[in-house]
């Protein structure tokens, strides 16, 4: 008996309709580190421009995809009621919005869950409220704990579970790439605060003002307030500082150039890009723009599509297939990338390759190789399977050894042409 059946009880709510979503705050927070999904969203995705750009760039490209059933011959078909339901997963929803949600959740929580309550609806589940239940061999159910509601027990066959990177400490749960650079994110935010404070303080380093005479506490306080009022904040930047009574002004600390601020911040941004599997040049971070040529961008973008997006499209299709019923004759759910604008250059390259293959086939067939075998050999990239028909090209035939050919032209003069009588 499955664990799902064993867990059924009057206190557990098993739902066949859409699960309602509610917002809640996690009371168990740890200051100084990202501890849960809400922290990743509020303190990384919403508060850090680089993380936002990385997650958004990945999600935008991923959302361009559509899905189709793959036939045994490799062709794609989008027929059937299952795909029509997937194209409209919820009211006013699209398959692009569903894929975008899956990518956001996988980036920030490591897991994305899509619940299918009936044949016409899909619903994104908040990954922070999902717990995976197993029988020791495979997942059999998912607890979905809504704040203020009884926990919902969802059968594994009703939930599509998408994982970007598997967690080494778990068999079925994934891990967020944001988690691997949490320290970099917090450090980058600290640098942003440092930069803001630098400009708030008139864009100058700290200063020490020494007086030859000893000032009483009230006089020192009045002087400090006067200096801050006249020369503090960014509005008073670059004003000339006037002091008297033999005061000596000394600068302490370093400005942004002395701190190599751009290099330090740029290194953190590159590490975040590496964790996200995204070339820095694609999202335009500082270190990426230093090598920002058209050629470099094109190569980086193509590598990004081949090494990140295509594998993730495949894994999303495999996850969604678990809650769909394939039509007769279909082998699996697959992604259809023919309408993705970012892959148009790939389409041009593929057309160029097909043209070269066609030229190769024509040359081999003209050379006497079997036409059908030639096509198969060129498509497989294995010319060792070619089979010759024994026929040779006309251009390769030697001259007729018997001297045969057309009869020589009789060059006798026709007297009748000269007007003479026979």
Lowest mean pLDDT, pick from 48-57, 224-233, 311-320, 323-332: 224-233
Same domain, 69 and 134: yes
Q: Give, as one character, the DSSP assignment of residue 240.
A: P
Domain count, the chain: 3
Of 241, 268, 414, 311, whose CA–CA distance to 65 is shortest?
Answer: 311
pLDDT bracket for residue 311 (50, 70, 90): very high
Q: Residue 224: is its pLDDT beyond 70?
A: yes
Q: Say how far apart CA 357 and CA 376 lie, in whole Å.
A: 11
Q: Give the pairing type, strands 152-155 and 159-163.
A: unpaired
Q: Say how far apart CA 229 and CA 250 lie, in whole Å.
A: 19
In a domain, 407, yes or no: no
- What is the rounded radius of gyration, in angstroms, for the C-alpha atoms of the chain? 36
Same domain, 91 and 180: yes
In a domain, 307, yes or no: yes
- 163 neighbors 315 (Cβ within 8 angstroms): yes
pLDDT for the residue 28: 35
Same domain, 66 and 44: yes
Residue tagged 């259809």 (tokens): 336
Q: Which one has a higher pLDDT value, 186 or 271?
A: 271
Same domain, 148 and 265: yes
Same domain, 62 and 149: yes
Secondary element (H or E) of residue 208: strand 206-210
pLDDT bracket for residue 209 (50, 70, 90): low
Same domain, 170 and 99: yes
Q: Which domain holds residue 356?
A: 341-396
Angle between helices 371-380 and 344-366 (to 10 degrees): 140
Tell me the two tokens of residue 420. 């003479």
Mean pLDDT (the chain, rounded) = 76
Q: Residue 116: is its pLDDT beyond 90?
A: yes
pLDDT for the residue 14: 43
Same domain, 149 and 83: yes
Strand partners, 13: 152
Same domain, 314 and 375: no
Contacts of 333 (CB under 8 A, 6+ apart): 67, 68, 69, 70, 317, 318, 320, 321, 324, 326
Same domain, 323 and 301: yes
Long-range contacts of 88-91 (CB under 8 A, 24+ apart): 89/114, 89/121, 89/122, 89/123, 90/121, 90/122, 90/123
Angle between helices 49-62 and 310-321 (to 10 degrees): 70
Same domain, 172 and 228: no
pLDDT for the residue 94: 94
pLDDT bracket for residue 179 (50, 70, 90): confident
Q: Say how far apart CA 365 and CA 388 lie, in whole Å.
A: 9
């Amino acid at each position: 008996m499955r664990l799902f059946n064993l867990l059924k009880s009057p206190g557990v709510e098993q739902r066949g309709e859409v699960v309602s979503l509610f917002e809640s705050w996690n009371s168990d927070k740890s200051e100084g580190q990202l501890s849960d999904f809400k922290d990743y969203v509020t303190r990384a995705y919403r508060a850090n421009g680089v993380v936002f750009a990385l997650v958004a760039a990945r999600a935008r490209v991923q959302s361009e995809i559509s899905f189709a059933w793959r036939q045994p011959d490799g062709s794609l078909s989008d027929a059937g009621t299952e795909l029509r339901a997937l194209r409209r997963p919820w009211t006013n929803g699209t398959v692009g919005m569903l894929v975008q949600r899956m990518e956001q959740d996988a980036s920030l929580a490591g897991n994305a869950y899509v619940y299918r309550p009936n044949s016409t609806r899909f619903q994104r589940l908040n990954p922070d409220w999902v717990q995976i239940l197993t029988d020791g061999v495979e997942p059999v159910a998912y607890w979905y704990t809504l704040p203020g509601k009884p926990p919902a027990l969802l059968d594994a066959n009703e939930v599509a579970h998408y994982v970007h990177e598997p967690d080494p400490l778990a068999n079925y749960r994934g891990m967020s790439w944001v988690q691997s650079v949490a320290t970099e994110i917090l450090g980058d935010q600290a640098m942003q605060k440092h930069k803001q404070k630098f400009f708030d303080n008139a864009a100058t380093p700290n200063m020490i003002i020494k007086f030859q005479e000893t000032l009483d506490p009230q006089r020192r306080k009045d002087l400090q307030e006067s200096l801050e009022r006249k020369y503090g904040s960014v509005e008073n930047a670059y004003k000339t500082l006037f002091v008297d009574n033999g005061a000596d002004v000394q600068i302490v600390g370093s400005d942004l150039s002395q701190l190599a601020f751009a290099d330090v911040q740029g290194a953190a941004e590159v590490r975040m890009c590496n964790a996200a599997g995204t070339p820095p040049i694609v999202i335009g971070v500082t270190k990426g723009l230093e090598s920002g040529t058209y050629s470099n961008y094109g190569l980086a973008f193509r590598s990004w599509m081949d090494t990140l997006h295509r594998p993730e499209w495949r894994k999303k299709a495999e996850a969604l297939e678990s809650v769909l019923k394939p039509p007769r004759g279909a082998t699996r759910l697959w992604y259809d990338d023919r309408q993705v604008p970012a892959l148009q250059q790939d389409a041009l390259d593929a057309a160029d390759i097909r043209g070269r293959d066609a030229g190769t086939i024509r040359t081999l067939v003209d050379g006497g190789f079997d036409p059908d075998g030639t096509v198969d050999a060129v498509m497989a990239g294995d010319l060792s399977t070619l089979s010759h028909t024994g026929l040779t090209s006309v251009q390769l035939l030697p001259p007729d050894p018997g001297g045969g050919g057309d009869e020589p032209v009789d060059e006798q003069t026709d007297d009748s042409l000269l007007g003479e009588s026979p």
